[in-house]
Structure 1
Amino acid sequence: MAPEWAGKYARWVGTRASFVSTLLVGILAVITGLANIGAGFGGSVVVFGITVPGVVRQITAFTGTISGFLLLLSAFGLRRGLQAALYAVLALLPITVAQSVLQSTNRSIPLLTLSVVTFVLVLLNRRSFDRDLDVTTTQVAALSALAGSQAYGTIGTFTLREEHFDGVNTLLDAFYFSLVTGSTVGYGDITPRTAVGELFTLSMLVLTVSSFAAVAGVVLSPLIETRLSKALGRMTQQQLELLENHVLVLGYGDLTEPILEELSGQRTVVVVTPNEERARRLTERGYTAHTGDPSDEQTQRTARIETAAAVVTATNNDAEDALAILTARELNPDVTIVAAVTQRENADKLKRAGADTVISPISLGAHFLAESALGGENVEELERRLLGDASADTDGGSNAPSE
């Protein structure tokens, strides 16, 4: 029990604590920034001998809210163990501390304190976040197109401002016009006054709207993938990446449902079955299922065999169970493997395949029935205790042996 307890403790004070703490800082930064923006700032204050004007405090309250939203996104990156999220958090937390100091209000003190604690906590657990950010070529292309179209619109508008546009005086005005044009908001406060300006605006509109649409598709595609995966009885890549300390049930047999009922609420259970329809039905009932060959190496890797706490094989085919056990033992030599054998003579074979414990439900049931038929005492009581029946604990039962 000690190693398991130590592992749970390490997870809670490690990656999970870093995730939760960063999430709280992000929420608190947003709340603090909005509260300070709404309350306003009276005037200048002196911070460490430096006079901070009220307008600067107002700006830091606004930017603090933006930092809070970025921290919220980075927190979920930490939950996935991303190294990029680690760097983002370590960069944003000092900024949040500086913003809290510059705002100089009592509302900023909790944010300041929690930011410092979170920075130390994340820094201590930095080795836990080593996963590379998996960015697809489509995502890179979409984001590059958006950045390029905004740069084209901003630079072009600023260059043509004197002769072809009304209301553009600074680079910020040009960026503002490019952004509202690309988002199709179009307030009308900045307008082209010549044919050249109109033609440039049309070209900018085509480029920026297309890039916005491409980015929207990239953002929405994971949501669509989630819906399709659920309909097809498959887990999404994000769900698979979050699996940790789970019980992996390889295959589906007569004992699978009782196993799921026994483990429900105790551990995350992932059922791997080649039957797509069965996987979909399990998913609809709230269970975690993945479609694939239970004995296939890639399928077990996908189901995160390397982070599983235990593996259970309980199909009606001992040969298939043996193959699944062999693969699981090869991929994770330390995992606990429990197997149910259909034919009692195959128990030793499953042991040699790598199972730690092999149980024959048929032989066990037959033994109970035979004992009862021969007048064996306390058989029912033993069964109730094995099944966790509370009635077996009431006064020891009428057949309880006397001491």
Structure 2
Amino acid sequence: MPYKYFSMLAKLCSVMLVISAAIILTQGLIPLVGSHPENDFIYKSKVGIQIFSQVIFTYCSLVIGLLLANRSRIVWYIAISLIIIICITNIIFWTNYTILYYYLITLALLLISRKAFDLDLFVSYIFLFVFGFLIFALIYGTIGTYLFRIDFTGINSIYDALYFTIVTYSTVGYGDISPKTVFAKFFVISMIIIGLVVFATSITVIAYNINRHLKKVLNHLNKGRLGMTNHIVLIGCGIFTKILIERYIKDKINFLVIDTDKNLDYEKQLLIDNNRLIIASYHGNNDSLIKAQAELAAKIIIAHDTDEASILATMNTREYLESKNQPNTPEIIVRILYFENISKAKRAGADEIIAPHVLAAEQILKRK
């Protein structure tokens, strides 16, 4: 199977499982809930088992189906297991062959496309709270309210239940539908608790996401400039730089980091989230210096993992600063590892050289 088709196959499997979830909802759950008699105690009947299991499997199929698009191997295993369980449950309790037919097709497609799912699991925080829990809250309120409609006044259809759920979650409360038994009141209390948690969290996450995207738009309008002045620019993100970063954060000193390594670890991701890391395409890249507004910095510290990279970055940084024709330019401080490279860094444009290994060796040699 050609690698270029993997993403397309994963998305096809994702669509098929989402469609299968919709089939449970439209061909199984909604007709079953609609025909459920008011006087039947759902928790004591076979119909109750059918409704409960279909609610759970609809939700799980929808969430897992959407996660399949990310080509996660773990999600693929979960999807296979989920489909097998749904098929067995269908044969024992539902006997709905339309649902069985769609899930068997999805199972076959997943097995055929197994090589396409070769990535690690990544679940977005926004996806979980904004979509996953939001759908769960709506299903919980709508299905539950309709099943216990005998305990409410004004609920005659599934649409009334959906309306009451949305009105309750939005805290509007028109009063045309209301609980009339103790059980119904406790159920509404549970809805309110779920609504407060889910919707409050969702709104917070949505607001954060909108704010992040607005920052990106403004950043684009400003051609990527991060708008700092009199700050520290750190070029290279090694152990030496990380020690400085810890101190700058503690002392609340403004700084920006420029690095060429595109592999993000936890610490680098935090820097990106706080607009403190710029990924450059090469050492001393002019675009990254423009974004960092290096000419307005208090000082520029260059400390790559190798002297060659540090010297190249120094030369390019010096050329960039000279092109600005400013009366005062920030000091360039360069960390050098080997003694023979100190003079090269000076010629490249460094104002000050720090050679910790050389200094350490000299201190050791001075000791008797």
- Band the TM-score falls in, shorter-chain normalisation: 0.3 to 0.5
- TM-score normalised according to structure 1 size: 0.37
- TM-score normalised according to structure 2 size: 0.40
- For CA contacts below 8 A with separation 6 or more, give which structure has more relative contact order: 2
